[in-house]
């Protein structure tokens, strides 16, 4: 039961990350939303799978995947944001009313 709760929670995080990609106006806010929700969703999903499978060799493989995702997600997000900044993409600013 707890495993399915973690899996559901992971799917909810991923859903809101996808919604953020659609909703937000520029690459920086989209990237921030998607990377946070992607990491949280992946953690919850993989923890749910570990709880569901029990402690065995498959759980160890899932744990290795989890560590890999936690190490590479921030690096990839930073690389994308840095690339956008180098290319001169400006952050979105709310237009002032005159």
**Domain extent listing, the chain:** 2-86
**Residue 5 clears pLDDT 70, i.e. is over it:** yes
Q: Is it the case that residue 91 has pLDDT exceeding 90?
A: no
> Who contacts 26 (Cβ-Cβ below 8 Å, separation ≥6)?
89, 90, 91, 92
What percentage of the chain exceeds 90 in pLDDT?
79
Q: 84 vs 7, 8, 12, 87, CA distance in Å?
A: 33, 33, 28, 5
Helix, strand and coil content of the chain, in percent to the nearest 5, comes to: 80, 0, 20
Tens of pLDDT, residue by residue over 21-58, are: 999 989 999 999 989 998 999 999 999 999 999 989 99
Residue 69, both tokens: 């995702």
DSSP-assigned letter for residue 88: T
What pLDDT score does 29 carry? 92
Tokens of 60: 């160890």
Banded pLDDT at 98 (limits 50, 70, 90):
low
């Amino acid at each position: 039961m707890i495993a399915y709760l973690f899996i559901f929670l992971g799917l909810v995080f991923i859903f809101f990350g996808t919604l953020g990609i659609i909703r937000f106006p520029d690459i920086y806010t989209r990237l921030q939303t998607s990377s946070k929700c992607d990491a949280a969703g992946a953690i919850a999903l993989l923890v749910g799978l570990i709880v569901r499978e029990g402690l065995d060799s498959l759980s160890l493989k899932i744990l290795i995947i989890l560590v890999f995702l936690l190490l590479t997600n921030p690096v990839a997000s930073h690389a994308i944001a840095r690339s956008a900044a180098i290319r001169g993409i400006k952050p979105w600013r709310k237009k002032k009313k005159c």
